Structure 1
Amino acid sequence: MPINVPHTLPARPILEKENIFIMESNRAITQDIRPLNLLLLNLMPEKERTETQLLRLLSNSPLQVNVDFIHTATYESKNVTKSHLEKFYQTFNDVKDRHYDGMIITGAPVEHLSFEDVDYWPEMVEIMDWTKEHVTSTLHICWGAQAALYHHYGINKKTRDQKISGIFMHERIEATNKLMRGINDEFLAPHSRNTDALYKAIKQHPDLLMLDDSAEAGPLFIASKDERHVMITGHIEYDADTLNEEFIRDQKKGINIAAPTNYFPNDNPLLPAKNRWRSLAYLLFSNWLNYYVYQETPYDWK
């Protein structure tokens, strides 16, 4: 089934070239089915790229999915045009009276700050509290995952001595969890962050499940036992070349950083990287949409 996006969204032609099933709004309203309504809080600087990455993964489902985009009202992004935000985005105030079947909160380049020092942290707190009554299940990515662990479960982060960047092996440890159905016993996943959530606190928290583990990167998938929150500490939505672009960006800033681990063929930065986590990403998003959202959300929120 298709994903319903605005006709002029920049992600649309990219997805259509990939043969992703896209449907226009005027056709979607004629479908005699109950679509899933998702809300995406996009905190990433390159919003158009993040839109494409996430919509691609949300499209691989037998369910019709409608997506609303919101950005922070208390912080204005410098890497996206004002016209793009005005055309495709709303703020939390515009949607706070609605209910959503699922929500995604992305990462953000604010790891170096304590949570309370982030300009839009009070707004984040308001949104995360709102999800408890207005969203069936929320998916949090990277910094968004750390923010959720901190706010909902009191688990803080710690700064790493060196940034973790690369592709790392993970071992599935919760084989019967619905979110992990069909995922290999061992799998590769990309990480890119300067901080870690406190490992021991996650493992010992009575309301959380670590679904996998990695000796180098720690857990990738963490879920609340009530299935209301899923935390992804890495970036399974990334394209094959995203880590390389981040590596080049950091070098241009004068940051002394090693090349991403286990990323380039033969560890040669001159060779293009391959996407070795695509199937994992599609399956995880499909499982979340099916088991944590569709199977649990009320047909009529009223």
Structure 2
Amino acid sequence: MPVNIPRSLPARRTLTDENVFVMSTERADHQDVRPLSIAILNLMPTKIATETQLLRLLGNTPIQVEITLLAMRSYTSRNTAPEHLDAFYRSFDDVRDEKFDGLVITGAPVELMAFEDVAYWPEMCEILDWSRTNVHSTMHVCWGAQAGLYRHYGIDKHALDAKMFGVFEHEVHVPTARIVSGFDDTFFAPHSRHTGTDVADVEAHPDLEVVATSTEAGLYLAQSRDGRQVFVTGHPEYDRDTLAGEYERDVERGLRVDVPAGYYPDDDPTQRPRHGWRSHAFLLYANWVNYGVYQGTPYDLDLIGVDGAGSAPAGTDPTSPDD
């Protein structure tokens, strides 16, 4: 089923060319189903690229999805045309009285700053607190995951000795968790960050479970035990060339940066990068949309956050013999 996006959004042409099923509002209005309402809080400077990456993944599910793009009111992006933001984005003030089946919170290039020093941290706290009552399930990505773990559970990030940069192998620790349904025992995913979250801190919290980690990259996937909060410390949404673009940018700036690990054949940046994480990226988002959102959200959006409405999103399958 398609993701419902405006006809003039730049991502639409790219996704259509890739044969991703997208739909206009006019066509969606003639289908007798309630689409899932999912908001994307896009904090990345490369907003159009990030929109396309996330919509590609959200458009590969059997459920119609209606997207709302959100930007911070307390910070103006310097890398995206104001006309694009005005045409396609809403502010938190516009939606604070609305409810959503799902919310995706992206990463942001502010990870080396203390949370409280980020210009839009007060607004971020508002949104994170609001999400607990107005959103059925939230997917937090990279810095968004760190911010969510800090605000909701008091788990802080820490600076790394060197940038975690490349594509790393990960191991699934909770194969019965619905968020990794269909995953292989091991899988690959990209990371691009200067900070990390200790696995032990997440394991020690009674309301959280660690679902997947990497020997090299550490924590990758965790969730609340009811499945309503999902935390992904990497960037499964990245395109084949995204890490290459970041590497070339840093080299041009004269920064000391290593070649992304496990990315170029023979670590040779003149060669085409491998794209070995695509299938698990699609599966991760499909599982979240299906099990984390669709299977639990109430039909009436107004009932989200009301005790007894809907059902808890699927976390770990209680019927599995391995549980």
Distance 2:27 2:199 in 1: 47
The aligned runs of 1:206-221 (5 Å cut-off) are 206-221=206-221
Task: Report what 1:62 is aligned to.
Answer: 62
CA distance in 1, matches of 2:253, 2:161: 18
Distance 1:217 1:203 in 2: 16
Partner amino acid, structure 1, of 2:118: V
Please state how far the C-alpha of 1:228 moved relative to its aligned partner.
1.3
Give the distance between the partners of 1:300 and 1:233, measured in 2 at CA.
Answer: 32
In structure 1, the residue matched to 2:271 is 271
Tell me, in whole angstroms, the C-alpha distance in 1 between the residues paired with 2:168 and 2:229: 23
Aligned twin of 2:251: 251
Q: How many residues align?
A: 302
Residues 1:19 and 2:29 aligned together: no
Q: Which region of structure 1 is more displaced relative to structure 2, 245-254 or 98-107?
A: 245-254
Deviations along 1:237-264, whole A, 9 cap, x unmatched?
Answer: 0001100110111112221111000110
Partner-residue secondary structure (3-state), 1:68? strand
Q: Report the Cα offset of residue 212 of structure 1.
A: 1.1
| Aligned counterparts of 1:175 and 1:239: Cα–Cα separation in 2 | 26
* Alpha-carbon distance, 1:274 to partner: 1.9
> How far apart, in 2, do the equivalents of 1:167 and 1:38 lie?
28
Alignment of 1:48-127 (within 5 A): 48-127=48-127
User: Does residue 225 of structure 1 match 2:261?
Assistant: no
3-state DSSP of counterpart to 2:218:
coil
Q: Verify the 8 A CA contact 2:199 2:210 in the aligned structure 1.
A: no
* 1:127 partner letter: I
Cα RMSD (Å) of the superposition? 0.7
User: Cα deviation per residue 1:87-115 (whole Å; 9 max; x = unaligned)?
Assistant: 00010000111110000000000011100
Could you say which residue in structure 1 is the equivalent of 2:318? none
> Which amino acid is the alignment partner of residue 52 of structure 2?
T
Moved over 6 A (4+): none
The farther-off stretch of 194-203 and 73-82 is: 194-203
Alignment-derived partner of residue 156 in structure 2: 156
In structure 1, the partner of 2:146 is 146
Instruction: Report the Cα distance in structure 2 between the residues aligned to 1:263 and 1:23, rounded to whole angstroms.
Output: 34
Q: Distance in 2 between matches of 1:198 and 1:215?
A: 12
Gaps of 5+ in 2: 303-323
Structure 1: distance between partners of 2:174 and 2:68: 32
Q: Cα deviation per residue 1:141-163 (whole Å; 9 max; x = unaligned)?
A: 00000000100010001000100
Residues 18-38 of structure 1 deviation map (CA, whole Å, 9 limit, x = unaligned): 001111101101110011000
Q: Give 2:235's aligned residue.
A: 235
Partner of 2:39: 39
The separation in 2 between residues aligned to 1:66 and 1:34, in whole angstroms, is 9
The Cα shift of 1:219 comes to 2.1
Q: Does the aligned pair in 1 maintain the 2:37–2:67 contact within 8 Å?
A: yes
In the alignment, the residues of structure 2 paired with residue 106 and residue 55 of structure 1 have an alpha-carbon distance, to the nearest angstrom, of 13
5+ residue gaps, structure 1: none
